[in-house]
Amino acid sequence: MSKVLQRVLLAVFVIVDVILIAGAMRHVNSTPPSTDLPAAAATADPAPTATAPTTPAPAGTTEAPTQLAYDFQASEAVALSSANDGTIVFGTRGRCADPEASVQISTNGGADFASEKTGLTTTLAVKTTGAKSITVVGTNANCDVQQVTSTNGGSSWSTSGDIDLWYPAADNSSTVVTTDGSTEPDASCVVTSVSQVTAASGRVSCADGTFRGSGDNGKTWVQLGRLDNARVSTFLTPTTGFALARFSGCAANEFTTTDGGVTWTPGGCIGGDPAQAIAATSNGLTAVVAGEAYASTDNGTTWMQP
């Protein structure tokens, strides 16, 4: 494919992504339809209060659940990625001054994991398209951000000069770093997960249950919707996403959106707490809950440990 054609296709994708975000923003600014699912409509308020009922009550209850206060611990967050060949990679965020961090890598769908040293002290973002292509972004002891790659399932690592993944800032819970620099989705957003959809577009989940999206490398952000008590999310496309949220007595219940995060449909519960990460491929979903990996091949309806 010629460079000119690549640039044209990238420009078209960016335009489509911006249109989708704009459409989602118009949708969340309208009155949402009545539903028995958790609401995902934004309000004019910059941040919902922890006591305001914003979600319809589950069947059989008389009181609507509320957005619970969420004291997000950034150092315990998990970066997770999976690939269609069965490769799964995840690592706990940690702190810059921690000892050398490791990532957990499976090349057989999660049946076995190996702890591999990356040479970094934190894990901010991971991406894999297969065992021969694993990328980790993290920091050294001085909190300088670096990117390392592996082509042999994590057995060895090499430093990459350019960082091409979006990641949460190591020292600021409201900042995301894109390939174009640091950006703040919203002053009220404590970023709990970052999902890069394309080179220039991505989505974040916030501790207040809202989701925000950007189609221009973080130059501008819009609120896409809200899922009460959402903990983490991932987006496979600009419109298709998955999240883990506290719901109906479950600390890590899966939810699916097909409209960019405006509305969410509940799936199955994963036992354990806390919900730390979720990832998606065309073959299925992977999640990390309480440090353990889980997999689903039916869009989150049922979960099992590989």
Tokens of 8: 């044209």
Which H or E run includes 223? strand 222-226
pLDDT at 303 over 70: yes
pLDDT at 172 over 80: yes
Which of 160, 85, 84, 86 lies closest to 125, judged by CA? Answer: 160
CA distances from 18 to 40, 94, 187, 217 (A): 20, 34, 22, 11
Residue 161: what pLDDT?
83
pLDDT range class, residue 65, cuts 50, 70, 90: low
Q: Is the pLDDT of residue 8 over 70?
A: no
Question: Is 50 exceeded by the pLDDT of residue 134?
Answer: yes
Q: What is the dihedral of CA 208, 34, 221, 122, to 10 degrees?
A: 40
Asked whether residue 283 carries a pLDDT value surpassing 70, the answer given is: yes
**Is residue 92 very low, low, confident or very high in pLDDT (cuts 50, 70, 90)?**
very high
pLDDT surpassing 60 at residue 43: no
User: Across residues 68-76, what is the average pLDDT?
Assistant: 92
pLDDT at 18: 46
Q: What is the pLDDT of residue 71?
A: 86
pLDDT at 85: 96
64 — pLDDT class (breaks 50, 70, 90)? very low
Alpha carbon distance 210, 221 (integer Å): 12
CA torsion 120-169-202-15 (nearest 10°) is -110
Q: What per-residue confidence (pLDDT) applies to 17?
A: 59
Model confidence at 59: pLDDT above 80: no
Tell me which of 45-59, 77-91, 141-155 is least confident. Answer: 45-59
Helix (H) or strand (E) holding 11, with range, is helix 3-28
Q: Would you state the pLDDT for residue 31?
A: 31
| Residue matched to tokens 């004291």 | 71
Predicted pLDDT at 182: 97
281 pLDDT higher than 90: yes
Instruction: State residue 3's pLDDT score.
Output: 45
**pLDDT range class, residue 10, cuts 50, 70, 90:** very low
Instruction: Read off the pLDDT of residues 194-249 as tens digits, 9 standing for 90 and up.
Output: 999 999 999 999 999 999 999 999 999 999 999 999 999 999 999 999 999 999 99
96 pLDDT band, cuts 50/70/90, is very high
For residue 303, what are its two tokens? Answer: 């979960």
- Reduced to 3 states, what is the DSSP secondary structure of residue 16? helix
pLDDT at 260 over 90: yes
